[in-house]
Structure 1
Amino acid sequence: MQTFSSEEMGALTRAVLNHMDEWKISADEMLAILQLGEEVRPRHLQQYRQGDKTFPQTTEMMNRIDHIVGIADALRTTFPFSSQMRVMWLSKPHRRFQRRHPLAVMLDEGDDGLMRVRIEVDCAYGYAINDALHAAAEEKKAAAA
């Protein structure tokens, strides 16, 4: 895992919160997606926005950050001229999520939900995951033979 300086981590923290602000989700929803812990309250997010605190550099948090940034980038690519469409996509029922909206998938399923939403909106990421799964299956088959 790459280690970031405190300045870099501060910039990354603010960028992630900015992405989530653009999604027009509540502070409680942000905390649920970020899984910062029970001790972090919605009012504490301001300290993260101001740079007084940064997200922890754990493997789990860095994976969440990667997915959030990936989702935000893919939405910006899919809907380059309309931030309203990006917000609408996140809050509209989707057939691949059993008529649940992508935000609900992220909230209900945690890290797996973040990955499912990212795969849906970011086809390049979906292809990479699919290729990795096929390669792992081939390795397992070769090892068994």
Structure 2
Amino acid sequence: MNPYTKDELLLITKSVMKILDNWELNSFQIISILGLPDKTPKRNINKYRNNLSFPYEKEIFERLEHIIGISDALRTTFPRNQHMASGWLKTEHRRFNNKAPIEVIIHEGLNGLRKIRSELDCTFAWDTTTG
């Protein structure tokens, strides 16, 4: 059951698209990160920016929650420069086997989102280990 109104879904969609655009991702990366079907038309990405809301599916909304959580953690980590967040996501890190966090997210899907969020957000990491 969908707990959101049409307007709320559209607001969530636009907010997440703004985050993904700030991360400087291409359409294929966005489709992958959101867990949308591979055959999703690229033109839908522009529609999501404007007047089409994401389909309400449990896994997609779990991904959205993690995207928002990662964005919040990056904003706390780099409060004066949002471009640093995009740079961090695209820089290889030894904690991720010398892969960039965005690569981990794209290749590992939902588990990758959880892994990157756990790295950035200690309260999320704590909740996952104590819950």
What is the TM-score normalised by the length of structure 1?
0.86
**Alignment deviations for residues 33-59 of structure 1 (CA, whole Å, 9 cap, x no partner):** 1121133122221111111x2111111
**Does 2:79 correspond to 1:80?**
yes
Distance 2:96 2:124 in 1: 18
**Does 2:128 correspond to 1:129?**
yes
Give the partner amino acid of 2:105: M
Distance 2:38 2:110 in 1: 17
Distance 2:41 2:35 in 1: 11
5+ unaligned residues in a row in structure 2: which ranges?
Answer: none
State the shift of 1:2 in Å. 6.4
Distance 2:31 2:128 in 1: 26
Q: Identify the residue that residue 4 of structure 1 maps to in structure 2.
A: 4
Could you say what the CA RMSD is over the residues aligned between the two structures, in angstroms?
Answer: 1.2
Any runs of at least 4 consecutive aligned residues in structure 1 with deviations exceeding 6 A, and if so which? none
Structure 1 residues 35 and 80 mapped into 2: Cα distance closer, same or farther (>3 Å)?
A: same
Larger radius of gyration: 1
State the shift of 1:83 in Å. 1.2
Q: Identify the residue that residue 56 of structure 2 maps to in structure 1.
A: 57
5+ unaligned residues in a row in structure 1: which ranges?
Answer: 133-145
**Does 2:93 correspond to 1:107?**
no
What is the TM-score normalised by the length of structure 2?
0.95
The number of residue pairs the alignment matches comes to: 131
State percent identity of aligned pairs. Answer: 34
- Larger RCO, structures 1/2 (Cα 8 Å, 6+ apart): 2
